[in-house]
Amino acid sequence: MRIWSFAKGHGTMNDFVLVKDRSGMLHPSSEDVRFLCDRRAGIGADGMLRAVKADSVPEWKGPGDLWFMDYRNADGSIAEMCGNGLRVFVKWLLEEDLVSGDVVDIATRAGLRRALPHHDGTITVTMGSPQWSADEVDLRLDGRQWTGHRVDVGNPHCVVREPNPSALDLAGHLEIDPVAFPYGANVEFVDQVGPDHLRLRVVERGVGETMSCGTGVVAAAWDAANTRAEPHLDGCAYTVDVPGGALTVTFAPDGQAHLTGPAVIVARGEVALPDAR
């Protein structure tokens, strides 16, 4: 039996188990992650965030003194990026006195990300420059079909327009274009309720439907900005409603996307993991 210290947090109810592993000694397996994220047998979460010093991560080529956010989906698979997870990760590092200051840089598989904590408890994080394709891709869900756009926010997304996302049964069988998305994708069903106001539901790769998805919110806003009658990105801002709350996305003149929303740490403790097989 292995005993790990952990924290539990969420950003607009997209929840995570957080584990500190400064020197990269824990080596969590896919089975470990699935156990931690199991909502009945484990702690329960949409994913696991492991904090490890970047100089212990061979694939990271930047400054080694940063904290690296090792993000795993609930099924144990590795993901490149998570916007809600990034805010929760920074909130936890701040509360643990592992970082300080008005600006916090974090290493991720999608590159360097910067966080700006605010006095009201929200955190703004940089999300890189999304890549959008005008080529339409097919998506099917239990016999219904949509066409959507591919948006890359450090991880792949398929954004489709759906005027009534709340009516969908997202537990059904989802089929996504395997040519456009050979490794799968997060899928956003988006309703535009105003010129700068969206609402959506999301199915995350390796997880299923979640209450929120930070990269998905950015992908949906980027798609909306690119498909409006007069595409406009610089200085554009969107409010995006998700089942777990609301987030704000802004686009800077340099093409950088910024995501702002809450981050909350709700518990700390120790967990007994089964012996490794």
Question: Structure tokens of 198?
Answer: 């969206």
Provide the CA 50 distance to its chain's centre, in angstroms: 14
- Which residue among the candidates 37, 82, 158, 236 is catalytic per the annotation? 82
For strand 47-53 and strand 67-73, is the pairing parallel, antiparallel, or unpaired? antiparallel
Residues 6+ apart with CB under 8 A from 2: 272, 273, 275, 276
Whether 213 sits among the annotated catalytic residues: the reply is yes
Burial string for 189-221 (b: 16+ CB within 10 Å, else e) reads: bbbbeeebebbbbbbbbbbebbbbbbbbbbbbb
Q: What is the DSSP letter of 277?
A: -
Distance CA 146, CA 168 (A): 13
Q: Which of 37, 158, 213, 236 is catalytic?
A: 213
Cβ of 6: how many Cβ atoms within 10 Å?
17
Residues designated catalytic:
82, 213
